[in-house]
Amino acid sequence: MGQLNAGIVPVTAFQQNCTILFDMDDRQGVVVDPGGDIDKVLAVLKDNAINAGAIWITHGHIDHAGGAMELKDALGIEIIGPH
- What confidence score (pLDDT) does residue 1 get? 66
What are the strands of the beta sheet with 16-23, ordered from one edge?
4-11, 16-23, 28-32, 51-56, 78-80
Residue 15 main-chain phi, psi, to 5 deg: 55, 45
- What confidence score (pLDDT) does residue 40 get? 96
How many Cα atoms occupy the beta-carbon half-sphere of 72 within 13 Å?
13
Task: Give the count of domains, the chain.
Answer: 1
The domain of 32 spans: 4-80
- Asked whether residue 83 carries a pLDDT value surpassing 70, the answer given is no
- Asked whether residue 14 carries a pLDDT value surpassing 90, the answer given is no
Span 7-25, mean pLDDT? 94
Query: Domain with 37 in it: what CATH number?
Result: 3.60.15.10
Render pLDDT for 17-72 as a digit per residue (tens, 0 to 9): 999 999 999 999 999 999 989 999 999 999 999 999 999 999 888 878 889 999 99
